[in-house]
Amino acid sequence: METQIIPKQNNIPPFDSHAIKILRIEYFGPSYKTYYQDQITEKIIAQLLKKISDGTNVYLYLDPDGEDDWLEVNCDGQWIALGFWGDSGKNNYFSYNPAFADSAEQILTENFSDKRFFTNLLSGGQSPIPKIQAIPDIQSGLNAVEYFIRTGLFFPGIDWLHESQ
């Protein structure tokens, strides 16, 4: 597996603030609600962004069938973690926290209870998310989520970790 750090940029390209590129929204956790392409409105997006900042887990799909190309968003009000699964898991992106860059080796020990290296967030409801893949700046994370919703692209205003096979 190859990894690459994509550093954040200061200049954010303009985008259509009313475009909607995602084709499906699935909440993971209480409510387990799914919205399909024709149901995704500005009102639903505003509600989604509010729920994220309050703390929730949600999947945002570029694939209408929900099989590939999705952004998983996990937030507990203290940390926000973004993880993109693409090309059937061969091309993945994660929000990246450079403050924990030296923790990669400790994460491999899989001592998930070690709160020095892991958040309380759970990917897919079961796998603890390491702090190296989560950021404490909730607003920047929300900006990244909205940018993905509107463009289908990764927000250049945060650091990303790219893993490919």
Residue 149 above 90 pLDDT? yes
**Residue 127 — pLDDT band, cuts 50, 70, 90?**
confident
pLDDT in tens, 1-40: 899 999 999 999 999 999 999 999 999 877 789 999 999 9
Question: pTM (2 decimals)?
Answer: 0.93
Residue 62 domain-assigned? yes
Q: Which domain holds residue 26?
A: 2-10+18-96+138-164
Distance of alpha carbon 160 from alpha carbon 147, whole angstroms? 14
> Average pLDDT, stretch 155-160?
98
pLDDT of residue 125: 77
When the pLDDT of each residue in the chain is averaged and rounded to a whole number, the result is 92
**Residue 124 — pLDDT band, cuts 50, 70, 90?**
confident
Share of the chain above pLDDT 90, in %: 79
Q: Which secondary-structure segment (H or E) carries 87? A: none
Q: Which residues of 38-49 are buried (b: 16+ CB within 10 A; e: fewer)?
A: eebeeeebeebb
Residue 32 domain-assigned? yes
**Residue 110 — pLDDT band, cuts 50, 70, 90?**
low
Residue 102 above 90 pLDDT? no
Residue 72 domain-assigned? yes
Residue 89 domain-assigned? yes
Residue 115 domain-assigned? no
Counting the structural domains of the chain, the total is 1
Residue 116 above 70 pLDDT? yes
Residue 124 domain-assigned? no
Please answer whether residues 58 and 100 qualify as being in contact, where contact means their C-beta atoms are separated by less than 8 angstroms. no
pLDDT in tens, 88-101: 989 999 999 999 98
Q: Name the DSSP class of 49.
A: H
Residue 105 above 90 pLDDT? no
Residue 133 domain-assigned? no
Q: Which residue has the higher pLDDT, 34 or 115?
A: 34
The label of the residue with tokens 């499906």 reads 24
Residue 121 domain-assigned? no
Q: What is the DSSP string of 12-44?
A: PPP--TT-----EEEE-STT--EEEGGG--HHH
pLDDT of residue 131: 95
